[in-house]
Amino acid sequence: MNKSLKTVDQNPKKGKVECNFEEFPYFIPSTKNLKEQKEIIFSRTVTNSKGHTLSQEWIVRAEHGNHLPGSFEADVKRALDQLVFDIGFETVLQTGSIKFSLYQIADILGLDHGGWTWKRIREALERLKTTNIHSKHSFYIKGRDTYIDDIFTFLEQVRFLKVVEGKRTRHATCEVRFSKYILESLKNHYIKPFDFGFYWSLKDPIPKRLYSLFDKRGYRSSKLTFDLIELGRTIPLTPRPPSKIKQGILPGLTVLKNRGYIKDFAFLKSKPMKDVLMVYLKKKGEVDPEVKEIADSLYDAMVRHLGASESSEKRFRKISETIPPNLVYRAISEIKEEERDGEVRSPRGLFFTKIGRYLKEASTT
């Protein structure tokens, strides 16, 4: 496979993830003023399984002189989720830790191998270790049907190892040990299905966060209602009025709708005059007709202009479902022009190369 295609077929897989971190704020989605973000204080009132009203507080604090985890840390954490699922929950529970290479994390993230990549991943893992969480009756332990009141970190330990292989010494091996509460949550199957492939295809932090939250809340109903102020604090966004929250999440909602994950959404006023967001999720097995029509049209355009083989048809279908239409049509248009100049030997191969390059360019802007 052409190496530049890594982001096209990247992680087309589904798995499962721990539920608490889908629910509560931990990662700052915006890089603006990130270095000034030292603390998240999130509170709400919920009703537990016994019908009792419960006041919850979830406080996330950066280590002195540091800042909170941002969108890059969110992706590194998601890569760890994928590794845990790949290894198997039961295997991870035996030791409470996983060992991996930074190459694996880089490959999952679609990043080049190199010193700057290792530095970013290493710092992200260190930040996940040093960021404290104070759960005041917030972090749920399913096996005990109780909410934890304790201070802990997502990663209990991060070790960078030097591995000697023959005459070569590798410094890119890491071992992380998870918090006892994370492990207990996995042990008691407080986990949910998760589409890693869809998550990685979203690219931007806000739609990624909205997808994670909607997917966590949507296990009971395909219709979700959010108070806008509370949703803004859950993401979390910096404190702002409902109109600004709407402005901040509208592009992410539009992406999720265009991609067919949600059927529709609406901003409404509820009693007593609260601003709310209504989200209508696609039901299991349901395909949004408009999204399917766009994907089918893209697929037909690729087959018509580039021809098809048994191996390329599957890749065409994947691209039609995951790649923005403007990039597909741009690549086809450029290839047709280059063909007129007699510069194209393999239209399909050139097409895949161009798509890979466009995605790489988009990820660095």
Kind and range of the H or E run holding 102: helix 102-109
| Phi, psi torsion values for 248, nearest 5 degrees | -75, -35
Residues 142 and 10 both lie in one domain: yes
Residue 172 has pLDDT above 90, yes or no: no
Least confident of 202-216, 288-302, 319-333: 288-302
For residue range 304-314, what is the model confidence (pLDDT) as tens digits? 888 888 778 88
d(CA 12, CA 98): 22
At 171 the pLDDT is 60
Q: What is the pLDDT averaged over residues 4-30?
A: 75
Q: Which of 173, 200, 227 is the last residue of a domain?
A: 200
Residues 295 and 274 both lie in one domain: no
Query: How many other C-beta atoms lie within 10 A of the C-beta of residue 281?
Result: 20
Kind and range of the H or E run holding 163: strand 155-165
Structure tokens at 354: 């161009």
Residues 120 and 238 both lie in one domain: no
Distances (CA, A) of 176 to 155, 156, 182: 7, 8, 13
d(CA 231, CA 198): 22
For residue range 97-143, what is the model confidence (pLDDT) as tens digits? 999 999 999 999 999 988 899 999 999 999 999 999 999 999 999 98
d(CA 155, CA 150): 15
Q: Which of 200, 223, 244 is the last residue of a domain?
A: 200
Is the separation of the CB atoms in 356 and 4 below 8 Å? yes
| pLDDT > 90: percent of the chain | 56
Residues 46 and 153 both lie in one domain: yes
Residue 363: name the closest of 7, 123, 5 by CA: 7
Its domain, for residue 309, covers 291-363
For residue range 213-272, what is the model confidence (pLDDT) as tens digits? 999 999 888 899 999 999 999 999 988 999 999 999 999 999 999 888 999 999 998 777
For 315, half-sphere exposure in the C-beta direction (CA atoms, 13 angstrom radius) is 23
Domain at 212, CATH number: 1.10.10
Structure tokens at 9: 């077929």
Q: Which of 270, 286, 302 is the last residue of a domain?
A: 286
Residues 8 and 140 both lie in one domain: yes
Structure tokens at 36: 């000034």
Structural domain count, the chain: 3
Q: Where are the alpha helices (DSSP H) in 191-322?
A: 196-202, 205-217, 228-234, 242-258, 289-306, 310-322
Residues 26 and 147 both lie in one domain: yes
Residues 30 and 171 both lie in one domain: yes
Residues 43 and 172 both lie in one domain: yes
Residue 96 DSSP symbol = S
Residues 262 and 315 both lie in one domain: no
Structure tokens at 153: 């970190």
Angle between helices 115-130 and 102-109 (to 10 degrees): 100
At 66 the pLDDT is 86
Q: What is the pLDDT averaged over residues 167-174?
A: 70
d(CA 352, CA 261): 25
Residues 142 and 104 both lie in one domain: yes
Query: How many other C-beta atoms lie within 10 A of the C-beta of residue 330?
Result: 14
Residues 246 and 279 both lie in one domain: yes
Residues 137 and 210 both lie in one domain: no
Residues 6+ apart with CB under 8 A from 83: 98, 100, 104, 108
